[in-house]
């Protein structure tokens, strides 16, 4: 948390960072989608939330935003400032790199813009 002028400023929520990035990509006509890798849930007879398993062959740790551009697959895992990848995200990142695919951990729209400049400049 950051203090500025004695007023507390909270870190942005991950969903807000994702929304800002998606709006930018959409406004600039990139082909992308927001990936949600959370299993579907339902309620059991006792009213408790239960999660179904992920479909077979669905890997855990898929990046939040997937972009296809100029023949490249790019994964953007969005994190709040100071947060780190979970073990399954690290495994997915390593597999992407082994396959020659670009994968970035980003904390802001600025990070995405930097990655795009590096890749397509």
Q: Which residue has the higher pLDDT, 45 or 39?
A: 45
Q: Per-residue pLDDT for 13 more than 70?
A: yes
Torsion sign over Cα 87, 93, 98, 104:
negative
Position 38 confidence tier, pLDDT thresholds 50, 70, 90: low
pLDDT recorded at residue 4: 58
Q: Is the pLDDT of residue 9 over 80?
A: no
Which CATH architecture does the domain made up of 2-120 adopt?
Answer: 3-Layer(aba) Sandwich (3.40)
The answer on pLDDT for 107 being more than 70 is yes
- 3-state SS assignment for residue 45: coil
pLDDT at position 116 over 60: yes
Q: Where are the domains of the chain?
A: 2-120
Let me know if 8 is exposed, middle or buried by CB neighbors in 10 A (0-12, 13-18, 19+): exposed
């Amino acid at each position: 948390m950051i203090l500025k002028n004695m007023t507390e400023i909270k870190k942005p929520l991950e969903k807000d960072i994702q929304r800002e990035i998606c709006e930018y990509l959409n406004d600039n006509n990139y082909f992308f989608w927001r990936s949600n890798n959370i299993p579907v849930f339902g309620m059991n007879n006792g009213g408790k939330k239960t999660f179904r398993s992920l479909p077979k062959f669905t890997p855990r740790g898929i990046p939040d935003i997937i972009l296809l551009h100029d023949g490249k697959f790019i994964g953007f895992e969005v994190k709040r400032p100071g947060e780190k990848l979970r073990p399954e995200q690290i495994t997915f990142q390593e597999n992407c790199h082994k396959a020659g695919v670009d994968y970035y951990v980003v904390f802001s729209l600025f990070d995405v813009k930097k990655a795009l400049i590096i890749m397509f400049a």
